Amino acid sequence: MTKRSRFSEYKDSYANFRFELSEEGILLMQCHSNGGSLAWDWKAHDDMSDAFADVAGDREIKVLIHTGTGDNYNADWEPPGIDKPMYRAMGGQKGLMKLDEKAWYGRMLIENILSVEVPMISAVNGPCNIHSEVPLLGDIVLASEDAYFQDLAHFPRGMVPGDGQHVLWPRLVGANRARHMLLTGKKLTAREALECGAVAEVLPKAKLLDRAWELARDLARRPPLVLRYTRLLFTQDLKRAFLDELAHGLARETYAQRQFFPVGGGTEPLDRPWDEDPWSD
């Protein structure tokens, strides 16, 4: 949910997101954990939503470059701090309210990205297996040669892929290929993503960010309203699609999590049988 913001107000607000603003009005948003590749945890998940809200509310920027750090875009998962009473009693009020909060952040993340009103260039600097819809909502998607896309966080780990994967992937690669990816956890390489139209260019890792800046500087030469209204034009259909199905997917995902939640194991598929009590000892 956006409000009017300014670079000076949010540039140092987030531990996992580094911001840089060029003289041309190009904003770099770089994901990281302690200067290395982003390790997903609940804070990074929730703060990304808030960070995109700040970017969306900044009416002085002209182009956004969104990228990661190091070897991976975000192909790592930091298991949340385990609150045993919450996960033992997922049917209770505390567990239910926590799940609802995470679903709300998941919905706001998509809505806030789509509220960004300037062209967005995504530079996927390596493997992306969690929330791959985030960079793929860019207008120009670049990928390094070693990048791949995957939805490892949901069905392979015992959860419904309702965080927007079910909306975006069928639009990018076709319904049958998308269902196969989501059910099997298949890795879509950068070259495969290029062939099916999910990314625009595949580049050596060392040249990826330079190419993003080259494109951004060319875009930034256009009048500000042309930039903003073009992004609005491009995102209108996506907003309709997510309005129709995002809340539905999150509702299915959240409800199913009351039966099973993969509390450990990082990104390991099915860290335990779904009907096994992880706290039985």
Centre a 10 Å sphere on the Cβ of residue 279 and count the other Cβ atoms it contains. Answer: 10
- The domain spanning residue 75 has which CATH number? 3.90.226.10
Return d(Cα 133, Cα 128) in angstroms, integer.
10
**Quick one: tokens of 187?**
């890795």
pLDDT tens string 103-124: 999 999 999 999 999 999 999 9
In the DSSP assignment, the letter for residue 155 is G
Per the domain annotation, does 85 fall within a domain? yes
* Residue whose C-alpha is closest to residue 141's, from 126, 119, 124: 124
Per the domain annotation, does 280 fall within a domain? no
* Residue whose C-alpha is closest to residue 19's, from 58, 77, 75: 58
- Annotated catalytic residues are 133
Q: Which domain holds residue 45?
A: 7-257
Is pLDDT above 50 for 86? no
Give the side-chain half-sphere CA count within 13 A for 226.
5
Per the domain annotation, does 150 fall within a domain? yes
Contacts of 4 (CB under 8 A, 6+ apart): 57, 59
Per the domain annotation, does 96 fall within a domain? yes
Which is higher by pLDDT, 96 or 71?
Answer: 71
Is pLDDT above 80 for 19? yes
Per the domain annotation, does 268 fall within a domain? no
Per the domain annotation, does 1 fall within a domain? no
Looking at 15-92, list the stretches that DSSP marks H as alpha helix, in order from N- to C-terminal side: 42-57, 84-88
In the DSSP assignment, the letter for residue 21 is E
Q: 72 φ, ψ to 5°?
A: -120, 150
Question: If you search the block for the tokens 């790592």, which residue do you land on?
Answer: 76
pLDDT tens string 173-192: 999 999 999 999 999 999 99
pLDDT tens string 254-266: 999 888 887 765 6
Tell me, what's the pLDDT at 279? 58
Per the domain annotation, does 101 fall within a domain? yes
**Average pLDDT of the segment spanning 72-81:** 69
Q: Reduced to 3 states, what is the DSSP secondary structure of residue 151?
A: coil
Query: Predicted confidence band at 92 (pLDDT cuts at 50, 70, 90)?
Result: low
Q: In total, how many domains does the chain have?
A: 1
Return d(Cα 212, Cα 143) in angstroms, integer.
10
Return d(Cα 109, Cα 105) in angstroms, integer.
6
Return d(Cα 132, Cα 129) in angstroms, integer.
6
Is pLDDT above 70 for 59? yes
Whether the full predicted model's pTM is greater than 0.85, yes or no, is yes
**Quick one: tokens of 85?**
């009473």
Tell me, what's the pLDDT at 259? 84
Per the domain annotation, does 52 fall within a domain? yes
Q: What is the sign of the dihedral through the CA atoms of 153, 158, 164 and 169?
A: positive
pLDDT tens string 202-212: 999 999 999 99
